[in-house]
Amino acid sequence: MNINSSLIAELKDKQYRDAYVASQIRISLPLQIRALRKSRDWTQPELAEHAGMAQPRISEIEKPGERRLNIETLLRLASAFDVALQVNFVPFSEFIDFNEDLDLDNFAIESFARELIRAEAKEELLAANVGHADSANPASKGKANQLFVVPKVLTTDENERKPSLPEPNPFSIRGELANAASCGNPR
Amino acid sequence: MPQGQRRADMDTFLKAMAKKAVWEYPDIDSLKGKKFKGLTELRWKSDGIPHRILGYRIADRQYLCLIGCTHNAKKYTPPDAMNSAKTRRDQIQSGEASYREYQLVTHR
């Protein structure tokens, strides 16, 4: 925590401290909701439809300080955006960092559906790579799957079984394991 | 509402605006009337009361705040806020008045 910042100086006053917390709900949250809607390319009527609310209410919700947002409303909006809503108590240092780093121009929170698609695609890719490694190692048949990240160069040619150093990659340790597997060296 | 809430709301609003590349309605709107052409108002609500900062953009990502006021039931407080804003802009543009950078309450 940078104790010399102007914000910390203000926060030393308990009244301002309490007000600062409330401001993040009353002023910042409406701006977040609007930014989130725009990241989905939704109009206010579209968000209203997803949330089961009237468009004028969405318009008010998105105006800083216009409405007092309650948890039920926020839950409905979270459901409409298909994102989670996190309400918890945190130390000021964490709270300040989040709010100071908040970038409304790039405020895009992925929906669960999109997250799932991405996660499934990633798993499929990993599974495909493991399949390559398994086919080069008959000893691994019947064993439980172990996920390794296999450097592509080691799996392109099944006949290339001579030991070689793995390509440098961010997963070097796993790369070595995969390399050993592709050389018929069971672990 | 606790004392200081309006100040905190203004700080939070201005900080959010300072970070945004594009300012748009309803956060900003043009002042009505030929006399006030070019002047805009930043808009947020605090303590249930619409708050405004009248001013205009002087350069890319630079906004000159001329006067702060509230705008309740279509009336500005102070009532001559719009004329004051115009006068101040004229004074700045003619070199009679100057301005300085507003220090946002920030942790950075």
The pLDDT of residue A164 is: 47
Report whether pLDDT(B12) > 50.
yes
Report whether pLDDT(A165) > 50.
no
Of A177 and A68, the structure prediction assigns the larger pLDDT to: A68
Burial of B67 (0-12, 13-18, 19+ CB in 10 A): buried
Q: Are A104 and B11 an interchain contact pair (Cβ–Cβ within 8 Å)?
A: no
The pLDDT of residue B74 is: 85
For B105, the closest of A6, A24, A105 (CB atoms) is A6
Q: Dihedrals φ, ψ of A132, to 5°?
A: -60, -45
Write out chain A residues lying below 8 Å of B108, CB-based. Answer: 5, 100
Write out chain A residues lying below 8 Å of B18, CB-based. Answer: none
Instruction: Tell whether the torsion through CA atoms of A105, A109, A113 and A116 is positive or negative.
Output: positive
ipTM (interface predicted TM)? 0.90
Closest alpha carbon within chain A to B48: A66
pLDDT digits (tens, 9 = 90+) for A68-124: 999 999 999 999 999 999 999 999 999 999 999 999 998 889 999 999 999 999 998
The DSSP string of B34-100 is GGGTT-EEEEEEETTEEEEEEEEEEETTEEEEEEEEEEETTEEESTTHHHHHHHHHHHHHHTSS---
Mean pLDDT of chain A: 79
Burial of B79 (0-12, 13-18, 19+ CB in 10 A): exposed
C-alpha span between B83 and A98 (Å, rounded): 40
C-alpha span between B60 and B85 (Å, rounded): 20
pTM of the full structure: 0.76
Mutate to test the interface with B, among A27, A29, A55, A95 (most CBs of B within 10 A): A27
Report all structural domains of chain A as residue ranges with CATH numbers, in order of start.
Answer: 6-108 (1.10.260.40), 110-187 (no CATH)
Tokens of A141: 């048949």
Report whether pLDDT(A147) > 70.
no
pLDDT digits (tens, 9 = 90+) for B13-54: 999 999 999 999 999 999 999 999 999 999 999 999 999 999
How much of chain A, in percent, has pLDDT values that exceed 70?
Answer: 67
The total number of residues written for chain B in this structure: 108
With both helix axes pointing from N to C terminus, report the angle between B5-19 and A14-23 in degrees, rounded to the nearest 10: 50
